[in-house]
Amino acid sequence: MAAMTGTIKRLVSDKGFGFILASDGAEYFFHNSACNGVAFDELREDQAVTFEKGQGPKGPRGENVRLA
């Protein structure tokens, strides 16, 4: 699957998840377990990331999240 690009829109650090605003305009949920090559606590809002599009039980989900 091709990697997508986006920026971290919001982080909920105490719960271990966040949201990515993708270049296609869609918003993707991601869990700290989806981070690859970067620790979740190193992420900041507005950082550029690459990720793979996945599908979770409640909607679109970011997987294999990496810093761009």
| Each residue's pLDDT tens digit, 21-64 | 999 999 999 999 999 999 999 999 999 999 999 999 999 999 99
| CA distance between the termini of the chain | 17
What band does 1 get if pLDDT is binned at 50, 70 and 90? low
Distance in angstroms (rounded) separating the CA atoms of residues 60 and 10:
15
What band does 2 get if pLDDT is binned at 50, 70 and 90? confident
CATH code of the region 4-67: 2.40.50.140
**E-only strand ranges, the chain:** 4-12, 17-22, 27-31, 48-56, 59-67
Place of tokens 């990331």: 49
Check pLDDT > 80 for residue 12: yes
